[in-house]
Amino acid sequence: MAFHELHERLCPTCGHRISATAPKCFNCGAYVNDEDDDGDDEPRGRRPIFMLASAVVAAVIYIAALVYLLNP
Ligand SMILES: [Zn+2]
């Protein structure tokens, strides 16, 4: 992906090329919501679930290690 493609996107209303950081299209004035576009941001709610899953995996590994050490 080229550099400019990370910083520009097309207005969903009129198709005009606008800055990726612009809150609204300066061509037609439509507000731009970036949640459905470039995929750089994770959807809300995924990260807490990921952290919980990581904690569970870490706990399982920790318990398995304890069991192994206590029962050689
Ligand atoms: Zn527009």
Per-residue model confidence as pLDDT tens digits over 14-57: 999 998 888 899 999 998 875 555 555 555 656 788 889 999 99
Helix, strand, coil in percent for the chain, rounding step 5: 45, 10, 45
CA gap 10, 5 in Å, rounded: 10
For the chain, domain boundaries:
3-70
Q: What mean pLDDT do residues 3-18 have? A: 83
CA gap 5, 15 in Å, rounded: 14
What is the reported pLDDT for 34? 59
What is the reported pLDDT for 47? 77
Compute, in angstroms, the gap from residue 32 CA to the centroid of ligand 1. 8
Compute, in angstroms, the gap from residue 41 CA to the centroid of ligand 1. 22
DSSP state of 27: T
What is the reported pLDDT for 68? 94
CA gap 42, 67 in Å, rounded: 36
Compute, in angstroms, the gap from residue 51 CA to the centroid of ligand 1. 38
What is the reported pLDDT for 45? 56
Within 1-72, where are the H helices? 3-7, 46-70
